[in-house]
Each structure stands twice: as structure tokens, then as C-alpha cells.
């Protein structure tokens, strides 16, 4: 069954939780049975259902185990036709724009937590001082 060819038109008809196809590196996967088990939640899969999910899949940096699970979901290959979206070029190991902001968000979170802790310590000391 993995040698079956699908067009983008075929794949776009499979974009619901009970019937979900994804394209990753021009291979077609039926993720319907995996939606409830996906560690990232079903929304992540539903967002890319019925379309090319290569960039989304690679940007997350899936493990070897995840790639093995994916191979078990393989149902065919993508048959590109005139007018189809061009395949997205993906270079393994490249830093995506979403990864570049990761440190910034972590730094803001650290500053926020530090501020909350400082405020809590201040309140505690104020309360202690008033009680003496």
C-alpha cells in the first residue's frame, strides 16, 4: 500500500481527526490512528492535516523513535502536478526563525520569575518587620 500515489487534491480531502493525512518529504502518512497519542497534542497534527507538514515536522526536531512511528503510518507518495505548491527546501540542522527566539523567551521567563520571587521576598520582609 505504501507504493500508492496521492495528489495534493487527494490529501486535502483527509484533514479531520478521524481521517488525517500528512505529507512529509513527499511521502504520505495516515496519522488518523496516532492523533490521540501524539505527545504534542492533536491540534498540532490537525493544523497541518491534509497538507505538506515537512517544515513543521522538522522544526520540532523529532526523535528517532518518532521517525520510526512515522514510517509505520506510511501509505504512499506524493504525486506532484502542475500548479502544486513547490516542495519546501529543508536543510537538516539549520536554525529556523522559531528556534532563534527560544533564548529570548526563556530569558524573559527567567526575568519574570526573578521579579515575582523578589516581590515575594519584599512582601515577606515587610510583613515580618511590621509584626516586630
Other beta carbons within 10 Å of 75 = 16
Distance CA 17, CA 20 (A): 6
Q: What is the pLDDT of residue 91?
A: 54
Between the CA of residue 111 and those of 9, 106, 114, what are the distances in Å?
48, 9, 5
How far apart are alpha carbons 118 and 121 in whole angstroms? 5
> How confident is the model over 38-57, as a mean pLDDT?
90
The pLDDT assigned to 28 comes to 95
Strand partners, 4: 76
Q: Radius of gyration of the chain from Cα atoms?
A: 23
Q: pTM for the complete prediction?
A: 0.64
Q: What is the tens place of the pLDDT at every residue in 79-111?
A: 888 877 776 655 555 444 444 455 667 777 888
Residue 23 scores a pLDDT above 90: yes
Amino acid at each position: 500500500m505504501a507504493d500508492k500515489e496521492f495528489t495534493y487534491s487527494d490529501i486535502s480531502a483527509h484533514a479531520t481527526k478521524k481521517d488525517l493525512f500528512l505529507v512529509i518529504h513527499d511521502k504520505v502518512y495516515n496519522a488518523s490512528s496516532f492523533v490521540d497519542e501524539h505527545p504534542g497534542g492533536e491540534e498540532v497534527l490537525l493544523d497541518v492535516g491534509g497538507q505538506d507538514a515537512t517544515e513543521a515536522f522538522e522544526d520540532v526536531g523529532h526523535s528517532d523513535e518518532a521517525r520510526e512511528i512515522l514510517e509505520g503510518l506510511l501509505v504512499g507518495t506524493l504525486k506532484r502536478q502542475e500548479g502544486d505548491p513547490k516542495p519546501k527546501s529543508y536543510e537538516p540542522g539549520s536554525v529556523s526563525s522559531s528556534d532563534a527566539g527560544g533564548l529570548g523567551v526563556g530569558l524573559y521567563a527567567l526575568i519574570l520569575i526573578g521579579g515575582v520571587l523578589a516581590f515575594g521576598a519584599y512582601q515577606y520582609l515587610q510583613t515580618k518587620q511590621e509584626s516586630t
